[in-house]
Amino acid sequence: MNAAIERILSIFEELNKIPRQSEKEEKIHKWLMDWAADKGFKCDTDDSLNINIKIPPSPGYEKAPGLVLQGHMDMVCEKVEGSKHDFSKDPIKHVIDGDWLSADGTSLGADNGIAIAMALAAASDKDIEHPAFEILITTAEETGLYGANALKPGFVEGKILLNLDSEDEGVFTVGCAGGNDTLIHLPVEFEEIPEDFELIQLTVTGLLGGHSGVDINSNRESSNVLISRLISDVRMEIDARLVDLFGGTAHNSLARKSDAVFAVKKGDKDKLHSAVKSTEALFKIENSVVDTGLNIKIDAPSKTYDRMLMQESAVKAINLLLSIPHGVLRMSAAIEGLVQTSNNIAIIKLEEDSLFIHNSQRSSVMSDLNFASQRIEASAQLAGGESEVIQKYPAWMPNMDSPLLKKCKDVYSNSFGREPVIEAIHAGLECGVVGSIFEGMDMISFGPNIFDCHSPDERMQISSVGSVWDFMIALFKSFKN
Protein backbone atom coordinates (compact mmCIF):
# COMPACT_ATOMS: atom_id res chain seq x y z
CA MET A 1 0.00 0.00 0.00
CA ASN A 2 1.60 3.28 -1.10
CA ALA A 3 1.79 6.44 0.97
CA ALA A 4 -1.07 8.19 -0.86
CA ILE A 5 -3.51 5.34 -0.27
CA GLU A 6 -2.44 5.09 3.38
CA ARG A 7 -3.08 8.81 3.83
CA ILE A 8 -6.51 8.60 2.20
CA LEU A 9 -7.57 5.57 4.26
CA SER A 10 -6.28 7.24 7.42
CA ILE A 11 -8.48 10.27 6.77
CA PHE A 12 -11.40 7.99 5.91
CA GLU A 13 -10.97 6.14 9.20
CA GLU A 14 -11.00 9.45 11.07
CA LEU A 15 -14.23 10.40 9.29
CA ASN A 16 -15.74 7.07 10.29
CA LYS A 17 -15.17 7.83 13.96
CA ILE A 18 -17.67 10.67 13.67
CA PRO A 19 -21.44 9.97 13.49
CA ARG A 20 -22.75 10.97 10.07
CA GLN A 21 -26.20 9.50 9.68
CA SER A 22 -28.34 11.36 7.16
CA GLU A 23 -30.00 14.46 8.61
CA LYS A 24 -27.90 14.10 11.77
CA GLU A 25 -24.69 15.59 10.40
CA GLU A 26 -23.96 18.21 13.09
CA LYS A 27 -20.90 16.40 14.47
CA ILE A 28 -19.28 15.62 11.12
CA HIS A 29 -20.06 19.18 9.98
CA LYS A 30 -18.14 20.56 12.97
CA TRP A 31 -15.25 18.16 12.37
CA LEU A 32 -14.95 19.29 8.74
CA MET A 33 -15.20 22.98 9.61
CA ASP A 34 -12.51 22.54 12.27
CA TRP A 35 -10.32 20.65 9.81
CA ALA A 36 -10.51 23.48 7.28
CA ALA A 37 -9.78 26.12 9.94
CA ASP A 38 -6.82 24.14 11.25
CA LYS A 39 -5.36 23.94 7.72
CA GLY A 40 -5.94 27.65 7.13
CA PHE A 41 -8.37 27.20 4.25
CA LYS A 42 -11.30 29.53 3.65
CA CYS A 43 -14.49 27.66 4.38
CA ASP A 44 -18.15 28.59 3.90
CA THR A 45 -21.31 26.86 5.12
CA ASP A 46 -25.06 27.43 4.85
CA ASP A 47 -28.24 26.77 6.79
CA SER A 48 -28.37 23.17 5.51
CA LEU A 49 -24.82 22.49 6.77
CA ASN A 50 -23.41 22.20 3.26
CA ILE A 51 -19.70 23.07 3.23
CA ASN A 52 -17.41 24.67 0.64
CA ILE A 53 -13.67 24.54 1.38
CA LYS A 54 -11.60 26.68 -1.00
CA ILE A 55 -8.11 25.57 -1.99
CA PRO A 56 -5.81 28.07 -3.76
CA PRO A 57 -3.95 27.03 -6.93
CA SER A 58 -0.43 25.70 -7.11
CA PRO A 59 2.19 27.95 -8.77
CA GLY A 60 1.69 27.86 -12.53
CA TYR A 61 -2.03 27.10 -12.27
CA GLU A 62 -3.26 30.61 -11.45
CA LYS A 63 -5.05 31.01 -14.77
CA ALA A 64 -6.46 27.50 -14.94
CA PRO A 65 -10.24 27.14 -14.59
CA GLY A 66 -11.46 26.44 -11.08
CA LEU A 67 -12.59 22.94 -10.23
CA VAL A 68 -15.21 21.68 -7.77
CA LEU A 69 -14.62 18.33 -6.04
CA GLN A 70 -17.98 17.16 -4.74
CA GLY A 71 -19.28 14.50 -2.39
CA HIS A 72 -21.71 14.10 0.49
CA MET A 73 -20.95 13.76 4.18
CA ASP A 74 -23.83 11.48 5.21
CA MET A 75 -24.04 7.70 4.96
CA VAL A 76 -26.68 4.98 4.93
CA CYS A 77 -26.60 3.31 8.37
CA GLU A 78 -27.32 -0.41 8.07
CA LYS A 79 -26.21 -3.20 10.40
CA VAL A 80 -26.50 -6.96 10.67
CA GLU A 81 -29.37 -8.43 12.63
CA GLY A 82 -28.55 -8.56 16.34
CA SER A 83 -25.84 -5.90 16.17
CA LYS A 84 -25.72 -3.48 19.09
CA HIS A 85 -23.88 -0.84 17.07
CA ASP A 86 -25.21 2.66 17.79
CA PHE A 87 -24.70 4.90 14.75
CA SER A 88 -25.29 7.99 16.88
CA LYS A 89 -22.07 7.45 18.83
CA ASP A 90 -20.13 4.31 17.86
CA PRO A 91 -17.28 4.52 15.31
CA ILE A 92 -17.39 2.40 12.18
CA LYS A 93 -14.81 -0.34 12.68
CA HIS A 94 -12.67 -0.97 9.59
CA VAL A 95 -11.78 -4.50 8.50
CA ILE A 96 -9.07 -5.08 5.86
CA ASP A 97 -9.04 -8.41 4.03
CA GLY A 98 -6.37 -8.40 1.34
CA ASP A 99 -7.35 -5.72 -1.18
CA TRP A 100 -10.75 -5.08 0.38
CA LEU A 101 -11.94 -2.74 3.08
CA SER A 102 -15.25 -3.38 4.84
CA ALA A 103 -16.81 -2.71 8.24
CA ASP A 104 -17.47 -4.93 11.23
CA GLY A 105 -21.17 -5.73 10.98
CA THR A 106 -22.28 -2.38 9.54
CA SER A 107 -22.32 -0.46 6.31
CA LEU A 108 -18.90 1.05 5.62
CA GLY A 109 -19.88 4.54 4.49
CA ALA A 110 -17.42 4.52 1.60
CA ASP A 111 -20.51 5.88 -0.10
CA ASN A 112 -19.55 8.69 0.12
CA GLY A 113 -16.92 9.18 2.81
CA ILE A 114 -14.15 8.10 0.47
CA ALA A 115 -14.88 11.17 -1.69
CA ILE A 116 -14.29 13.46 1.27
CA ALA A 117 -11.14 11.55 2.25
CA MET A 118 -9.66 11.90 -1.25
CA ALA A 119 -10.57 15.57 -1.49
CA LEU A 120 -9.05 16.38 1.92
CA ALA A 121 -5.95 14.37 1.05
CA ALA A 122 -5.53 16.39 -2.15
CA ALA A 123 -6.05 19.66 -0.31
CA SER A 124 -3.48 18.89 2.37
CA ASP A 125 -0.72 17.48 0.12
CA LYS A 126 1.62 20.37 -0.75
CA ASP A 127 3.50 18.26 -3.33
CA ILE A 128 0.46 17.95 -5.63
CA GLU A 129 0.12 20.34 -8.56
CA HIS A 130 -3.43 21.54 -9.08
CA PRO A 131 -5.68 24.40 -10.16
CA ALA A 132 -7.72 26.24 -7.58
CA PHE A 133 -10.45 23.91 -6.41
CA GLU A 134 -13.39 23.93 -4.07
CA ILE A 135 -14.49 20.97 -1.97
CA LEU A 136 -18.29 20.97 -1.99
CA ILE A 137 -19.62 18.62 0.71
CA THR A 138 -23.38 18.28 0.91
CA THR A 139 -25.77 16.89 3.51
CA ALA A 140 -28.68 14.44 3.52
CA GLU A 141 -27.91 13.05 0.08
CA GLU A 142 -29.03 9.57 1.04
CA THR A 143 -32.48 10.63 2.24
CA GLY A 144 -33.41 12.85 -0.69
CA LEU A 145 -30.54 15.11 -1.81
CA TYR A 146 -31.82 17.71 0.62
CA GLY A 147 -28.48 19.46 1.02
CA ALA A 148 -27.91 19.77 -2.71
CA ASN A 149 -31.45 21.02 -3.23
CA ALA A 150 -30.83 23.75 -0.64
CA LEU A 151 -27.72 25.14 -2.41
CA LYS A 152 -27.96 28.72 -3.60
CA PRO A 153 -26.37 30.24 -6.73
CA GLY A 154 -23.00 31.69 -5.85
CA PHE A 155 -22.16 29.17 -3.12
CA VAL A 156 -19.49 27.73 -5.42
CA GLU A 157 -17.56 29.56 -8.13
CA GLY A 158 -16.05 26.79 -10.26
CA LYS A 159 -17.74 25.60 -13.45
CA ILE A 160 -16.10 22.18 -13.69
CA LEU A 161 -17.54 19.61 -11.28
CA LEU A 162 -15.81 16.35 -10.38
CA ASN A 163 -18.41 14.34 -8.50
CA LEU A 164 -16.67 11.56 -6.56
CA ASP A 165 -19.77 9.51 -5.80
CA SER A 166 -19.52 6.74 -8.41
CA GLU A 167 -18.68 3.16 -7.52
CA ASP A 168 -16.87 1.58 -10.48
CA GLU A 169 -13.23 2.44 -11.17
CA GLY A 170 -12.57 3.08 -14.85
CA VAL A 171 -16.16 4.14 -15.43
CA PHE A 172 -17.17 7.75 -16.04
CA THR A 173 -20.78 8.51 -15.26
CA VAL A 174 -22.31 11.26 -17.41
CA GLY A 175 -26.00 10.95 -16.57
CA CYS A 176 -28.32 9.66 -13.85
CA ALA A 177 -31.95 9.08 -13.02
CA GLY A 178 -34.26 11.59 -11.43
CA GLY A 179 -36.48 10.53 -8.57
CA ASN A 180 -39.72 10.95 -6.68
CA ASP A 181 -40.51 9.64 -3.22
CA THR A 182 -44.21 8.90 -2.82
CA LEU A 183 -45.63 8.39 0.67
CA ILE A 184 -48.95 6.56 1.02
CA HIS A 185 -51.04 6.57 4.16
CA LEU A 186 -54.04 4.28 4.35
CA PRO A 187 -56.46 4.77 7.28
CA VAL A 188 -57.17 1.49 9.10
CA GLU A 189 -59.47 0.47 11.95
CA PHE A 190 -58.73 -1.83 14.86
CA GLU A 191 -60.65 -4.05 17.26
CA GLU A 192 -59.75 -5.86 20.45
CA ILE A 193 -57.94 -9.19 20.27
CA PRO A 194 -60.21 -11.99 21.57
CA GLU A 195 -59.01 -13.95 24.60
CA ASP A 196 -58.88 -17.24 22.70
CA PHE A 197 -56.34 -15.85 20.21
CA GLU A 198 -52.56 -15.93 20.56
CA LEU A 199 -49.94 -13.76 18.86
CA ILE A 200 -47.22 -14.93 16.51
CA GLN A 201 -44.56 -12.85 14.76
CA LEU A 202 -43.27 -13.76 11.30
CA THR A 203 -39.97 -12.31 10.09
CA VAL A 204 -38.71 -12.41 6.52
CA THR A 205 -34.94 -12.08 6.78
CA GLY A 206 -31.60 -13.22 5.34
CA LEU A 207 -31.83 -11.11 2.18
CA LEU A 208 -28.93 -9.33 0.52
CA GLY A 209 -30.62 -5.94 0.28
CA GLY A 210 -28.62 -3.28 -1.52
CA HIS A 211 -28.96 0.02 -3.35
CA SER A 212 -32.43 0.55 -4.78
CA GLY A 213 -30.98 2.16 -7.91
CA VAL A 214 -27.84 0.15 -8.58
CA ASP A 215 -29.24 -3.24 -7.54
CA ILE A 216 -32.88 -2.91 -8.61
CA ASN A 217 -32.30 -5.09 -11.71
CA SER A 218 -30.14 -7.71 -9.98
CA ASN A 219 -33.05 -10.01 -9.00
CA ARG A 220 -32.49 -9.22 -5.33
CA GLU A 221 -35.67 -9.62 -3.34
CA SER A 222 -37.43 -7.06 -1.20
CA SER A 223 -38.56 -8.32 2.20
CA ASN A 224 -41.46 -5.86 1.99
CA VAL A 225 -42.72 -7.59 -1.14
CA LEU A 226 -42.25 -11.04 0.37
CA ILE A 227 -43.96 -10.20 3.66
CA SER A 228 -46.96 -8.89 1.71
CA ARG A 229 -47.18 -12.13 -0.24
CA LEU A 230 -46.70 -14.16 2.93
CA ILE A 231 -49.54 -12.35 4.71
CA SER A 232 -51.83 -12.98 1.75
CA ASP A 233 -50.90 -16.67 1.55
CA VAL A 234 -51.36 -17.27 5.27
CA ARG A 235 -54.75 -15.57 5.34
CA MET A 236 -55.97 -17.77 2.48
CA GLU A 237 -55.21 -20.86 4.58
CA ILE A 238 -56.41 -19.91 8.09
CA ASP A 239 -58.24 -17.21 10.02
CA ALA A 240 -55.16 -15.08 10.79
CA ARG A 241 -55.76 -11.50 11.89
CA LEU A 242 -53.12 -8.89 11.11
CA VAL A 243 -51.89 -7.07 14.22
CA ASP A 244 -48.72 -5.27 13.14
CA LEU A 245 -46.54 -4.84 10.07
CA PHE A 246 -43.18 -3.17 9.60
CA GLY A 247 -40.20 -3.47 7.25
CA GLY A 248 -37.39 -1.57 5.56
CA THR A 249 -35.17 1.19 6.89
CA ALA A 250 -34.27 3.63 4.10
CA HIS A 251 -35.90 4.96 0.95
CA ASN A 252 -32.89 4.08 -1.21
CA SER A 253 -32.29 0.57 0.14
CA LEU A 254 -33.93 -2.70 -0.84
CA ALA A 255 -35.65 -3.92 2.32
CA ARG A 256 -33.75 -6.81 3.93
CA LYS A 257 -36.01 -7.57 6.90
CA SER A 258 -39.77 -7.28 7.39
CA ASP A 259 -42.11 -8.44 10.18
CA ALA A 260 -45.78 -9.22 10.50
CA VAL A 261 -47.61 -10.02 13.73
CA PHE A 262 -50.71 -12.23 13.55
CA ALA A 263 -53.43 -13.11 16.02
CA VAL A 264 -54.66 -16.68 15.50
CA LYS A 265 -56.94 -19.00 17.41
CA LYS A 266 -54.92 -21.09 19.83
CA GLY A 267 -55.87 -24.26 18.05
CA ASP A 268 -54.65 -22.93 14.67
CA LYS A 269 -50.99 -22.48 15.56
CA ASP A 270 -49.91 -25.66 13.78
CA LYS A 271 -51.88 -24.67 10.68
CA LEU A 272 -50.09 -21.31 10.67
CA HIS A 273 -46.70 -22.99 10.88
CA SER A 274 -47.63 -25.26 8.00
CA ALA A 275 -48.84 -22.37 5.82
CA VAL A 276 -45.69 -20.36 6.52
CA LYS A 277 -43.37 -23.25 5.72
CA SER A 278 -45.19 -23.93 2.45
CA THR A 279 -44.79 -20.33 1.34
CA GLU A 280 -41.17 -20.25 2.52
CA ALA A 281 -40.40 -23.28 0.36
CA LEU A 282 -41.84 -21.52 -2.69
CA PHE A 283 -39.87 -18.34 -1.91
CA LYS A 284 -36.65 -20.35 -1.66
CA ILE A 285 -37.27 -21.97 -5.04
CA GLU A 286 -37.85 -18.53 -6.58
CA ASN A 287 -34.64 -17.25 -4.96
CA SER A 288 -32.39 -20.27 -5.34
CA VAL A 289 -29.74 -18.28 -7.24
CA VAL A 290 -29.48 -14.78 -5.73
CA ASP A 291 -31.03 -14.42 -2.27
CA THR A 292 -30.02 -17.88 -1.08
CA GLY A 293 -30.00 -16.86 2.59
CA LEU A 294 -33.74 -16.12 2.66
CA ASN A 295 -35.65 -17.56 5.60
CA ILE A 296 -38.84 -16.93 7.58
CA LYS A 297 -38.66 -16.96 11.37
CA ILE A 298 -41.65 -17.79 13.57
CA ASP A 299 -41.48 -16.37 17.10
CA ALA A 300 -43.46 -14.79 19.88
CA PRO A 301 -43.92 -11.02 19.34
CA SER A 302 -41.21 -8.69 20.58
CA LYS A 303 -43.80 -6.50 22.33
CA THR A 304 -47.36 -6.72 23.66
CA TYR A 305 -50.50 -5.86 21.70
CA ASP A 306 -54.15 -5.44 22.64
CA ARG A 307 -55.70 -4.76 19.23
CA MET A 308 -55.77 -6.17 15.70
CA LEU A 309 -56.94 -4.84 12.35
CA MET A 310 -60.56 -5.22 11.50
CA GLN A 311 -61.04 -7.59 8.58
CA GLU A 312 -62.04 -4.90 6.08
CA SER A 313 -58.97 -2.81 6.92
CA ALA A 314 -56.68 -5.83 6.69
CA VAL A 315 -58.01 -6.72 3.24
CA LYS A 316 -57.52 -3.15 2.00
CA ALA A 317 -53.98 -3.00 3.40
CA ILE A 318 -52.91 -6.31 1.89
CA ASN A 319 -54.48 -5.62 -1.51
CA LEU A 320 -52.81 -2.21 -1.61
CA LEU A 321 -49.39 -3.69 -0.87
CA LEU A 322 -49.87 -6.37 -3.52
CA SER A 323 -51.00 -3.83 -6.13
CA ILE A 324 -48.03 -1.45 -5.86
CA PRO A 325 -45.43 -2.19 -8.56
CA HIS A 326 -41.95 -2.97 -7.30
CA GLY A 327 -38.71 -3.37 -9.25
CA VAL A 328 -37.94 -2.54 -12.86
CA LEU A 329 -40.91 -0.92 -14.61
CA ARG A 330 -39.22 -0.13 -17.93
CA MET A 331 -35.81 -0.63 -19.54
CA SER A 332 -34.26 2.12 -21.64
CA ALA A 333 -34.71 1.83 -25.38
CA ALA A 334 -31.91 4.35 -25.96
CA ILE A 335 -29.15 2.84 -23.79
CA GLU A 336 -28.75 -0.94 -23.74
CA GLY A 337 -28.86 -2.46 -20.27
CA LEU A 338 -29.95 0.75 -18.52
CA VAL A 339 -32.99 0.62 -16.27
CA GLN A 340 -35.19 3.53 -17.31
CA THR A 341 -37.85 3.45 -14.60
CA SER A 342 -38.33 1.60 -11.32
CA ASN A 343 -40.06 1.68 -7.97
CA ASN A 344 -38.84 0.46 -4.59
CA ILE A 345 -41.34 -0.35 -1.84
CA ALA A 346 -38.85 0.91 0.69
CA ILE A 347 -40.54 1.18 4.08
CA ILE A 348 -43.84 -0.12 5.42
CA LYS A 349 -45.22 0.35 8.92
CA LEU A 350 -48.49 0.35 10.85
CA GLU A 351 -48.45 3.42 13.02
CA GLU A 352 -51.32 4.80 15.08
CA ASP A 353 -54.36 4.40 12.79
CA SER A 354 -52.67 4.24 9.37
CA LEU A 355 -50.55 2.00 7.20
CA PHE A 356 -47.64 4.01 5.84
CA ILE A 357 -45.85 2.92 2.64
CA HIS A 358 -42.77 4.82 1.49
CA ASN A 359 -42.09 4.28 -2.23
CA SER A 360 -39.07 5.50 -4.18
CA GLN A 361 -39.43 5.95 -7.96
CA ARG A 362 -36.50 6.57 -10.31
CA SER A 363 -36.34 7.30 -14.03
CA SER A 364 -34.07 8.88 -16.59
CA VAL A 365 -37.19 10.13 -18.40
CA MET A 366 -39.13 12.62 -16.29
CA SER A 367 -42.51 11.93 -17.92
CA ASP A 368 -42.11 8.21 -17.19
CA LEU A 369 -41.06 9.04 -13.64
CA ASN A 370 -44.28 10.98 -13.13
CA PHE A 371 -46.30 8.14 -14.66
CA ALA A 372 -44.75 5.70 -12.16
CA SER A 373 -45.78 8.01 -9.33
CA GLN A 374 -49.28 8.30 -10.78
CA ARG A 375 -49.63 4.51 -10.77
CA ILE A 376 -48.76 4.41 -7.08
CA GLU A 377 -51.11 7.28 -6.31
CA ALA A 378 -53.92 5.49 -8.19
CA SER A 379 -53.38 2.30 -6.16
CA ALA A 380 -53.59 4.35 -2.95
CA GLN A 381 -56.81 6.07 -4.03
CA LEU A 382 -58.47 2.82 -5.07
CA ALA A 383 -57.77 1.44 -1.60
CA GLY A 384 -59.19 4.53 0.06
CA GLY A 385 -55.83 6.01 1.01
CA GLU A 386 -53.96 9.21 0.26
CA SER A 387 -50.54 9.83 -1.24
CA GLU A 388 -48.11 12.68 -1.72
CA VAL A 389 -44.77 13.14 -3.44
CA ILE A 390 -42.64 14.23 -0.50
CA GLN A 391 -39.39 14.82 -2.35
CA LYS A 392 -38.12 14.89 -5.91
CA TYR A 393 -34.91 15.53 -7.81
CA PRO A 394 -34.15 16.00 -11.52
CA ALA A 395 -32.43 13.64 -13.89
CA TRP A 396 -28.96 14.49 -15.21
CA MET A 397 -29.07 14.23 -18.99
CA PRO A 398 -25.82 13.07 -20.64
CA ASN A 399 -23.77 15.55 -22.68
CA MET A 400 -21.54 13.46 -24.93
CA ASP A 401 -19.95 16.65 -26.35
CA SER A 402 -18.74 17.78 -22.92
CA PRO A 403 -15.18 19.26 -23.00
CA LEU A 404 -14.61 17.78 -19.53
CA LEU A 405 -15.59 14.32 -20.73
CA LYS A 406 -13.14 14.55 -23.64
CA LYS A 407 -10.34 15.67 -21.32
CA CYS A 408 -11.09 12.90 -18.81
CA LYS A 409 -11.09 10.26 -21.54
CA ASP A 410 -7.73 11.48 -22.85
CA VAL A 411 -6.14 11.65 -19.40
CA TYR A 412 -7.43 8.21 -18.44
CA SER A 413 -6.30 6.47 -21.63
CA ASN A 414 -2.87 8.13 -21.43
CA SER A 415 -2.52 7.13 -17.77
CA PHE A 416 -3.68 3.52 -17.95
CA GLY A 417 -3.38 2.51 -21.59
CA ARG A 418 -7.05 1.65 -21.95
CA GLU A 419 -10.28 3.50 -22.65
CA PRO A 420 -12.67 4.26 -19.81
CA VAL A 421 -16.28 3.11 -19.86
CA ILE A 422 -18.83 5.90 -20.34
CA GLU A 423 -22.27 5.31 -18.83
CA ALA A 424 -25.47 6.73 -17.45
CA ILE A 425 -26.83 5.09 -14.29
CA HIS A 426 -30.21 4.40 -12.76
CA ALA A 427 -29.13 5.64 -9.33
CA GLY A 428 -29.53 9.28 -8.38
CA LEU A 429 -26.54 11.60 -8.21
CA GLU A 430 -26.36 15.15 -7.00
CA CYS A 431 -25.12 16.27 -10.42
CA GLY A 432 -28.67 16.69 -11.68
CA VAL A 433 -29.51 19.04 -8.82
CA VAL A 434 -26.19 20.89 -8.94
CA GLY A 435 -26.50 21.40 -12.70
CA SER A 436 -29.98 22.85 -12.27
CA ILE A 437 -28.74 25.39 -9.69
CA PHE A 438 -25.35 26.40 -11.11
CA GLU A 439 -25.83 27.28 -14.76
CA GLY A 440 -23.15 26.18 -17.21
CA MET A 441 -21.59 23.53 -14.94
CA ASP A 442 -19.65 20.84 -16.86
CA MET A 443 -19.83 17.63 -14.83
CA ILE A 444 -18.55 14.10 -14.57
CA SER A 445 -18.70 11.46 -11.85
CA PHE A 446 -16.14 8.78 -10.98
CA GLY A 447 -14.91 6.80 -7.98
CA PRO A 448 -13.34 3.56 -6.74
CA ASN A 449 -14.88 0.10 -6.73
CA ILE A 450 -17.52 -0.10 -4.00
CA PHE A 451 -19.86 -3.07 -3.84
CA ASP A 452 -23.09 -3.72 -1.91
CA CYS A 453 -23.64 -0.11 -0.85
CA HIS A 454 -26.40 0.61 1.63
CA SER A 455 -25.92 -2.77 3.31
CA PRO A 456 -23.64 -4.36 5.95
CA ASP A 457 -21.88 -6.15 3.08
CA GLU A 458 -20.54 -2.85 1.68
CA ARG A 459 -16.88 -3.17 0.72
CA MET A 460 -14.34 -1.08 -1.18
CA GLN A 461 -11.37 -2.22 -3.24
CA ILE A 462 -8.27 -0.53 -1.86
CA SER A 463 -6.19 -0.71 -5.04
CA SER A 464 -8.98 1.01 -6.97
CA VAL A 465 -8.71 3.97 -4.59
CA GLY A 466 -5.10 4.29 -5.75
CA SER A 467 -6.15 4.18 -9.40
CA VAL A 468 -8.76 6.90 -8.90
CA TRP A 469 -6.22 9.00 -7.02
CA ASP A 470 -3.63 8.64 -9.80
CA PHE A 471 -6.24 9.63 -12.39
CA MET A 472 -7.38 12.64 -10.38
CA ILE A 473 -3.83 13.93 -9.93
CA ALA A 474 -3.13 13.49 -13.65
CA LEU A 475 -6.37 15.32 -14.42
CA PHE A 476 -5.29 18.20 -12.17
CA LYS A 477 -2.04 18.52 -14.11
CA SER A 478 -3.85 18.57 -17.44
CA PHE A 479 -5.27 22.00 -16.53
CA LYS A 480 -1.85 23.66 -16.21
CA ASN A 481 -1.70 27.16 -17.77
Residues 369-379 pLDDT 10s: 999 999 999 99
Confidence label for 215 from pLDDT (cuts 50, 70 and 90): very high
156 and 285 both lie in a single domain: no
Query: Which CATH number fits the domain that encloses residue 85?
Result: 3.40.630.10
Domain boundaries, position 409: 3-177+395-477
Q: Per the structure, how many domains does the chain have?
A: 2
Residues 224 and 299 in one domain: yes
Do 141 and 209 belong together in one domain?
Answer: no
pLDDT value, residue 144: 83
Q: What is the pLDDT of residues 73-119, one digit of tens each?
A: 999 999 998 999 999 999 999 999 999 999 999 999 999 999 999 99
Overall average pLDDT of the 151-164 stretch: 97
Q: Do 292 and 434 share a domain, yes or no? A: no
Question: Does residue 348 share a domain with residue 383?
Answer: yes
Residues 363, 401 within the same domain: no
272 and 370 within one domain: yes
Query: 372 and 297, same structural domain?
Result: yes
332 and 433, same domain (yes or no): no
Question: Which pLDDT does position 335 carry in this prediction?
Answer: 85
Asked whether residue 273 falls in the same domain as residue 166, the answer is no
Residues 139 and 220 in one domain: no
In angstroms, rounded to a whole number, what is the distance separating the alpha carbons of residues 25 and 22? 6
Catalytically annotated residues: 74, 141
pLDDT for 334 equals 82
Cα separation, 181 vs 183, whole angstroms: 7
At which of 339, 363, 389 does a domain end? 389
455-481 confidence digits (pLDDT tens):
899 999 999 999 999 999 999 999 987
Which pLDDT score is estimated for 143? 86
Could you tell me the CATH number of the domain that includes residue 338? 3.30.70.360
Q: How confident is the model at residue 293 (pLDDT cuts 50, 70, 90)?
A: very high
Domain termination residue (choose one: 360, 389, 418): 389
SS3 content of the chain, % helix, strand, coil (to 5): 30, 30, 40
pLDDT tens digits, one per residue of 323-357: 999 999 999 998 889 999 999 999 999 999 999 99
Q: What is the predicted pLDDT for the residue at 10? A: 97
> Does 142 lie in the same domain as 8?
yes
Q: Where are the beta strands (DSSP E) in 25-169?
A: 42-45, 51-55, 67-72, 94-97, 100-103, 133-138, 160-163
* Mean pLDDT of all residues belonging to the chain: 96
Last residue of a domain, one of 374, 389, 404: 389
Amino acid code (one letter) for 363? S
pLDDT over threshold 80, residue 169? yes
Q: Are 343 and 180 in contact (CB under 8 A)?
A: no
